[in-house]
Structure 1
Amino acid sequence: MMTHQQNNVEKRFILSLIFTLLILVGEVVGGLITHSLALLSDAAHVFMDVFALGLSFLALRLSSRPADDRHTYGWHRLEVLAALINGLTLLVISVTIGWEAYQRFLSPAPVRGPLMLVIAVLGLVVNLVVALVLGSHRHGEKSHIHRDLNLQSAFLHVVGDAVSSVGVIVAAVLIMLTGLEWVDPLASVLIAILILVSSFRVLKSSLHILVEGTPDGLSLAEVEREMLQTPAVASIHDLHVWNLCSQDVALSAHVVLEADHAQSQEQVMQDLRQRLDERFEILHTTLQFEDTACIDKFACNGGASHPVVN
C-alpha cells in the first residue's frame, strides 16, 4: 500500500517532470534557432534529467509492490538499478557533448547571443523552481542517515541544470560583448564536465549499494557499541550491515549473551530492535543468539547453521 509520504514524493516527481519537459522543449527549439551548441548541450542534459525523473518515478511505483515468494525483500532494489542506468546514460551524454564541442572548435558556427541569453535565463528560472520542489523533501526527515537515492540524484541533476544554465548565460553575454564564438563550445565542455561529475557520483552511490557496502554515514563500530548497551549482551560478532535500497538498511549479527543473564531472549530482542531503529533507523534485523562466543571462524561466517531469531 502506498504511504502518504510516498504519494507526496510521487507528486513532486510529476510536477518536476512537467517543468523539466518545458525546459527541454524551450532549449531544443532555442538551440536550433540560435545555432548554440551550449544550449543544445544543456538540452541534452535536461533530456537525461527527464529520462532520469521518469525512470526514478517508475522505480518508485514498482518498489511499492509487496514482497512475494520470488522477491522476499520486495522490489526496493529497482530504485538502485534506476540510478545506475541514469548514471551510465549521463556518462554517454557527457562524452557525446565533449565530442560535439571539439567539432565546433574546429568549425565555429555563428551564434545568436541575445536569443540564447533569453532562453538560458528562462531555463535557469524553471530549474530553480524544480530544485525547490525536489529539495523541499528534506524538511521533516527523521534523520540524514538514509537519503532516497532517486530524490537525491534527481535534485543533483536539477542543480546541475541550473549551473549549466548559468554557464550558457555567461557564454551568451560574452558572445554579445566580444563576438568570440568559441565561447559557445567552451561552455559546452564545461557542461560536459559537470554532467560527468554527476554521473560518477550517482554511479558510485548505486554500485556501493549493489555490492552491499556498509551504508554511508554508518559505522560498524558505533552499531556494535550501541548493541552492547543492551542488558545481557556480552559480545557481538559476524556483524553485517547493508542497504536493501538507499533508505532501507538490513542487519545480521551473532549476539553472545551473558552466562547469568535474567532477561528472556524476547526482551533482549526488543531492546536491540528499539536501539537499532532509534539510533540508526535499521528495521530489517536477523539476530542469532548464542551462549558462548564463536570460536570456529568458518562457522561464524556462515559455515554452520543455527537457529535464528528474527
Structure 2
Amino acid sequence: MTRFGHTELPDEQERALRRAVRLAWLTIGFLVTAVTVVYVTMGSSQAMKAAWAEDLLSFIPPISFLVATHLASRPPSDTHPYGFHRAVGVGHVVASTALVTMGAFLVWDSGSGLLKAEHPPVGTMVVLGQPVWSGWLMIAAMVYTGIPPVLLGRAKLPLAEKLHDRVLFADADMNKADWMTAAGGIVGILGIGVGLWWADAVAALFISGSILHDGVRNMRVAVAALMDSRAMTVDGKDEHPLMGQVDAALGSLPWVDEVGSRVRDEGHVFHVESFVVPVEGHQVTLAELREARERAIRLDWKVQDMVVVPVEDLPARFLPGLGAAQDDDAPAGSPKGWDAPDRSR
C-alpha cells in the first residue's frame, strides 16, 4: 500500500501518484532534449534566450515533485511528529523562488536590450550542404518545445487535483502555458526576418513577464500555505470544501449543539482541529468522540491527522472565521456575547 506518511492512499490516488511520477520523469527526459535543441539554434535572439531559460527552469517543478513525494512518504518520527508532508510546501517555495528570480532577471535583460536598440543578427547555417536561414531552425525548435509540454500539462492537472499536490499543479500549469512561450518566440523571430528588430526584444519581454507572473502567483500560494493559512483548493483560489463538510458531518451528530473547525494544509493531507459544543446537560463519552472523529475521517482520505475537542463554548480566538461569538479580549471560559470593557475613554 502506497502512503503519504501514515496516510494510506486509496486505489484512485495510488494510481494517480504512479502516473504522476511517470509523467514527471517523462517531462525531465523531454526537457533534456528541448534545452539542447534551443541552445543549439538560439543564436543571438533575446526571445530564444528567454525561452531557453524557461526550459531550464522547467526542470525544477518535476524534480521538486519527485523529491517531495519521496520525503512525504516517510512516517512521522520523534523529530517530525507531524510527518514530512511539508516537503510539498518547501518544494513549491523553491520552484516559485527560482521562477521569480529568473523572471525578474530576464525582464531586466530584455528591457535593457530594447532600450539600447540592440539589433540581433540572424544569419544562415549550412544544413546537409544547403544554406538555411537560421530563423527557420529557431521556429522549428520553438514548435518542438511548445507542443509536448501542453499535452503533459493537461495530463498532470487532474492528477494534481486528485493528489492535492501544489508542486505538481504548478508544473502542470506552467506546461499548459508553454505554448505562449513558443508562440512569442516565433513572433519575435519572424519580426527579425521582416526587419522589425524590436520584435525580438518585445517577445522576450512577453516570455519573461510570463515567467515572473507564474513565479509571483505560485510564491503567494506557497508562502500562505507554509504560514498555516486555512485549507484551500489545490490552485489556491478558493476555500477547500472539506472544511464545511467536516463541520456538517460533526454537526449532524445528535449530541452536538455547535461545531467549528480550523483546517490547515500540511501538503497532501490536512491537519484538522474540531471544537464541538455538546447539547446542554450531555456528558460526552470517549466512544462518542471516537465516532465523531471516524465520521470525519471517512469523508476524504486527506482527513487523517484530526483531533475532536469538546468545549463549553466555541473559542473565537482560534476560530475567527465564525464571527464574534466571543471577543478577542474575553477571558477564557467567558460566556457567549461577553462584551469587553470600553477602553476608548
Q: Under a length normalisation based on structure 1, what TM-score does the superposition of the two structures give?
A: 0.83
Q: CA deviation at 1:293?
A: 3.0
Partner of 2:32: 21
Identity of aligned residues (%): 18
Name the SS of the counterpart of 2:271 in structure 1.
strand
- Seen in structure 2, the aligned counterparts of structure 1 residues 60 and 91 have a Cα distance that, compared at 3 Å, is same
Partner of 2:41: 30
Greater alpha carbon shift after TM alignment, 114-123 vs 96-105: 96-105
- Seen in structure 2, the aligned counterparts of structure 1 residues 224 and 184 have a Cα distance that, compared at 3 Å, is same
1:197-208 equivalences in 2 (<5 Å)? 197-208=213-224
In terms of Rg, which structure is larger?
Answer: 2
1:126 is the counterpart of 2:148 = yes
Q: CA deviation at 1:37?
A: 1.4
- Seen in structure 2, the aligned counterparts of structure 1 residues 233 and 100 have a Cα distance that, compared at 3 Å, is same
Partner of 1:109: 120
2:275–2:310 CA contact under 8 A, matched in 1: yes
Cα distance in structure 2, aligned partners of 1:175 and 1:266: 75
Partner of 2:188: 171
Aligned residues: 289
1:158 is aligned with what amino acid? Answer: N
Can you give the 5+ residue segments of structure 1 that lack an aligned partner in the other structure? 301-310
Cα distance in structure 1, aligned partners of 2:60 and 2:255: 52
Partner of 1:305: none
1:1-310 equivalences in 2 (<5 Å)? 2-3=2-3, 4-5=14-15, 6-32=17-43, 35-105=44-114, 106=116, 107-111=118-122, 112-135=134-157, 137=159, 141=162, 147-176=164-193, 178-216=194-232, 217-218=239-240, 223-237=246-260, 239-245=261-267, 247-259=268-280, 261=282, 264-275=285-296, 277-278=298-299, 281-290=302-311, 292-293=312-313, 297=330, 299=332
Q: CA deviation at 1:151?
A: 0.9
- Seen in structure 2, the aligned counterparts of structure 1 residues 102 and 266 have a Cα distance that, compared at 3 Å, is same
Name the SS of the counterpart of 2:197 in structure 1.
coil
- Seen in structure 2, the aligned counterparts of structure 1 residues 211 and 128 have a Cα distance that, compared at 3 Å, is same
Greater alpha carbon shift after TM alignment, 257-266 vs 91-100: 257-266
Greater alpha carbon shift after TM alignment, 62-71 vs 247-256: 247-256
Name the SS of the counterpart of 1:179 in structure 2.
coil
Name the SS of the counterpart of 2:58 in structure 1.
helix
Cα distance in structure 2, aligned partners of 1:108 and 1:158: 30
Name the SS of the counterpart of 2:295 in structure 1.
helix
- Seen in structure 2, the aligned counterparts of structure 1 residues 110 and 147 have a Cα distance that, compared at 3 Å, is same
Cα distance in structure 1, aligned partners of 2:64 and 2:284: 49
1:232–1:268 CA contact under 8 A, matched in 2: no
Name the SS of the counterpart of 1:278 in structure 2.
coil
RMSD in angstroms over aligned alpha carbons?
2.7
Could you give the per-residue CA deviations for residues 140-191 of structure 1, whole angstroms, max 9, x where no partner exists?
x4xxxx7310110110121232221121122223333x22121111011011
Cα distance in structure 2, aligned partners of 1:251 and 1:185: 50
Q: Under a length normalisation based on structure 2, what TM-score does the superposition of the two structures give?
A: 0.75
Cα distance in structure 1, aligned partners of 2:216 and 2:40: 29
1:273–1:283 CA contact under 8 A, matched in 2: no
1:110–1:181 CA contact under 8 A, matched in 2: no
Name the SS of the counterpart of 1:175 in structure 2.
helix
2:293–2:308 CA contact under 8 A, matched in 1: no
1:231–1:268 CA contact under 8 A, matched in 2: no
Q: CA deviation at 1:118?
A: 1.2
- Seen in structure 2, the aligned counterparts of structure 1 residues 97 and 252 have a Cα distance that, compared at 3 Å, is same
Could you give the per-residue CA deviations for residues 12-55 of structure 1, whole angstroms, max 9, x where no partner exists?
211111112221111122113xx211111011111111122212
Greater alpha carbon shift after TM alignment, 264-273 vs 91-100: 264-273
Can you give the 5+ residue segments of structure 2 that lack an aligned partner in the other structure? 4-13, 123-133, 233-238, 316-325, 334-345
Greater alpha carbon shift after TM alignment, 265-274 vs 161-170: 265-274
Cα distance in structure 1, aligned partners of 2:227 and 2:25: 31
1:110 is aligned with what amino acid? Answer: P
Partner of 1:307: none
Partner of 1:308: none
1:18 is aligned with what amino acid? Answer: G
